[in-house]
């Protein structure tokens, strides 16, 4: 039974590795469109918010994958718990991205300036 478990584990890692290689190859060869992935849609420039979101997501996913690989040598009964610092960093990154996106959309629509004028008149 242990040989069957080891074989299944090997096949799963082989399939995941093969899938990662295919996706990486298609990204590098241009068959998966990556144009504009890190650009701000309004200005067309590099978006720091998108870059930090991508980096935090990749680092978080890599960290969790590493934790999963570390317990795969044992007899795991499930996936490892997500550490709170990892969860908070990825959630904070998403919150910062969404906050920046909301602010830029509201600024473009003039809502922020009207709100500042309204608050200024009220005091």
Quote the CA–CA distance of 95 and 89 in Å, as a whole number: 10
Cβ contacts of 37 within 8 Å, gap of 6 or more: 50, 54
pLDDT of residue 119: 83
pLDDT of residue 14: 94
pLDDT of residue 108: 76
Q: pTM of the predicted model, to two decimals?
A: 0.70
Quote the CA–CA distance of 81 and 68 in Å, as a whole number: 10
Per-residue pLDDT of the chain (123 residues; tens, 9 = 90+): 788 888 988 898 899 999 999 999 999 998 998 888 888 877 788 889 999 999 999 999 999 988 988 887 666 778 889 999 999 999 999 999 999 888 888 887 787 778 787 887 765
pLDDT of residue 19: 96
pLDDT of residue 43: 79
pLDDT of residue 105: 81
């Amino acid at each position: 039974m242990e040989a069957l478990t080891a074989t299944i584990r090997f096949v799963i890692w082989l399939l995941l590795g093969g899938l990662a290689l295919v996706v990486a190859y298609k990204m590098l060869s241009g068959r998966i469109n990556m144009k504009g992935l890190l650009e701000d849609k309004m200005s067309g420039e590099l978006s720091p918010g998108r870059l930090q979101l991508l980096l935090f997501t990749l680092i978080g996913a890599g960290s969790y994958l590493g934790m999963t690989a570390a317990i795969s040598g044992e007899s795991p009964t499930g996936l490892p718990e997500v550490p709170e610092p990892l969860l908070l960093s990825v959630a904070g990154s998403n919150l910062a991205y969404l906050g920046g996106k909301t602010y830029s959309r509201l600024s473009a629509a003039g809502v922020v300036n009207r709100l500042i004028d309204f608050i200024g008149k009220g005091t």
